[in-house]
Amino acid sequence: MLHIVFLLSLILSTSHATVQDFCVADLKGAEGPSGFPCKTVAYVTSDDFVYPGLSEPGNTTNIISAAVSPAFVAQFPGVNGLGLSAARLDIAPGGVIPLHTHPGANELLLVSQGHITAGFISSANTVYQKTLKRGELMVFPQGLLHFQVAAGKSKAVAFAIFSSASPGLQILDFALFASNFSTPLITKTTFLDSTLVKKLKAVLGGSG
Ligand SMILES: *[C@@H]1O[C@H](CO)[C@@H](O)[C@H](O)[C@H]1NC(C)=O
Ligand SMILES: *[C@@H]1O[C@H](CO)[C@@H](O)[C@H](O)[C@H]1NC(C)=O
């Protein structure tokens, strides 16, 4: 008898438990440090947990001959609050994902086609690099500058998994030469020649 009472009370208490399984992003809300506010559960569907956008190659007809297709929380609301996200890299022969950092996440890169030379620079200014083939993984610790370059003559594809729903992406050359960082201050703070700075700004669209 006592067992039954205990079981009943357990069932009643768990059926009223308020464990929050997920928090699909309501992208109309403001993003805070812990993500977006949750979409009302009644409106959540299976599609919120699926992102088909990485199934097609990105467009590599551009200055870097490469494409990064993100599946961060802004594209894939289902990852909100779960501490992970993904991206697809398509790199045409000769293409490059220029030096960049993800201020908010570690990255795990899995090559699925072709060969990629990838590497990062540690805080101690040591370069760790490797040419990866299909099926090989490399990790890039949070915040460190890193790059990926197509190795060989064929197109390369890789998928990246990040340890945050909002890894952030800052490309070093874009920060310097696609921004309104003034040329005198760039030359002063980077020791680069101003002719080179102006040339790169003209290519990447920087001002100032
Ligand atoms: C890829 O991008 C280029 C340059 O923006 C554009 O001309 C081309 O139409 C795009 N290709 C596809 C398949 O969308
Ligand atoms: C760069 O542009 C932003 C947005 O227009 C502006 O707020 C900022 O003050 C500008 N910075 C400089 C150094 O001009």
Q: How far is the CA of 62 from the centre of ligand 1 (A)?
A: 8
Let me know whether 140 and 192 are in one domain.
Answer: no
Does 17 score more than 80 pLDDT? no
Q: Looking at the structure, tell me whether residues 140 and 196 fall in a common domain.
A: no
- For residue 68, the enclosing domain spans 53-168
Q: Ligand 2 pocket test: which of 180, 183, 207 has the largest number of ligand atoms within 8 Å of its C-beta?
A: 180
pTM, whole model, 2 decimals?
A: 0.88
pLDDT of residue 19: 81
Mean pLDDT of 84-88: 98
Which residue did the predictor score with more confidence, 12 or 46?
46
Beta-bridge mates of residue 108: 139, 161
CB-based burial of residue 120 (10 Å sphere; 0-12 exposed, 13-18 middle, 19+ buried)? buried
Give the model confidence (pLDDT) of 182-198 as tens digits. Answer: 999 999 999 999 999 99
Same domain (yes/no): 150, 205: no
Together in a domain, 158 and 58: yes
Contact 104, 35 (CB under 8 A): no
65-84 residue pLDDT tens: 999 999 999 999 999 999 99
Average pLDDT over residues 59-65: 96
